[in-house]
Amino acid sequence: MNKATLFSVVTFLAIQPTAAKAQNTDSAQHHSSVARKGSTKPSFLSGEIGKDGKTIRADRDSRIWRVSNPETLNDIDARHVRVRAQVDAIHGQIHILSVSAIADERAGIKLDDAAFRR
């Protein structure tokens, strides 16, 4: 290999990681701005309120969310609820807009179950 070709290959390999790092930085900034924009839209979440009344454990993924306005959960400690809230996934917290309790299912034998029909 001649010296010019070797020099150009070494230069290319030296510049490549710098260009990739700059591209990843731009991509990370874009993703964080998208995540912030997505947090303003209210979404629904069902789960169980913690005993302290300041957290909710989601049914879907068992993730624990910190409630930014726990006064909305007064007198609903340790119950199963469905909330409409603004989710901030970056900080792991939610701002509750409305709360509704979910009725517990009946326990025991269900006479209207398919096993009892004839």
3-state secondary structure 30-68: HHHHHHHHHCCCEEEEEEEECCCCCEEEECCCCCEEEEC
pLDDT tens-digit profile of 24-73? 554 445 444 444 444 578 999 999 999 888 999 999 999 999 999 999 98
Please tell me the distance from the alpha carbon of residue 73 to that of residue 90, in angstroms, as a whole number: 22
Claim to verify: residue 20 and residue 62 sit in the same structural domain:
no
Give the residue carrying structure tokens 């917290």.
93
109 domain-assigned: no
More confident site: 59 or 9: 59
115 domain-assigned: no
- Structural domain span for residue 94: 41-101
Claim to verify: residue 25 and residue 49 sit in the same structural domain:
no
Which one-letter DSSP state was computed for residue 73?
Answer: G
Claim to verify: residue 58 and residue 19 sit in the same structural domain:
no
Structural domain count of the chain? 2
Claim to verify: residue 54 and residue 93 sit in the same structural domain:
yes
For residues 92-106, give the mean pLDDT: 84
CATH number at residue 56: 2.40.50.140
Please tell me the distance from the alpha carbon of residue 64 to that of residue 1, in angstroms, as a whole number: 60
More confident site: 13 or 83: 83
